[in-house]
Structure 1
Amino acid sequence: MQEREKLAIAAHLHVVMRRKTGRVTDVEWLVRNNDYAREIIKLALSEPDQSELHEWARKLRSALFVPAPDSKPSSRGEAALVPAKSKSTSRRFLDSLR
């Protein structure tokens, strides 16, 4: 997928996330930084009753992360995408501007 297509999907996610949850994201950083993208996707998918937000988060996940060919889908779906990290590492993206 081309860079501009990834940016377009990230921009859509940004708009929906801002409208539905009030959270502001950095669109360019979403495409360039995998850790930031994983945390924002995880945050978007954790919002209850937000089908449009979930749809765009899944589109971005598909655009940015290609699943390993021999990996089996997990029961939660996101476990293979998000590696286990310390709480302080994942919180830094949610509690700061960048």
Structure 2
Amino acid sequence: MLVAKKIIVRGRVQGVGFRYSTKIIADKLGIKGSVWNETDGSVHIEAQAESDAMSDFMAKISVSPSPYARVDSVNSKDIPVNEHLHRFRTL
């Protein structure tokens, strides 16, 4: 089943390759969506994929895909699926 989530990651996640590393993981898992920095220092992700791939993605994000980052918290909520997404973008 296709699921979509809005994910907010807090910690040392800007300026340390977190978005780039997130994109690499998303591409490997077939995740569609985007990742971007927010002015409050957090990273926001909108992602959609089959539920198993999403579970793997969430697990990898939670432990930080970048060796230089530190994830303090990950919050997510379900959002509507967007059938028009075709790739994962870094904004």
Give the alignment's TM-score, normalised by structure 1: 0.39
Larger radius of gyration: 1
Higher strand residue share: 2
Higher helix residue share: 1
Name the structure, 1 or 2, with higher relative contact order (CA <8 Å, separation 6+).
2
Give the alignment's TM-score, normalised by structure 2: 0.40
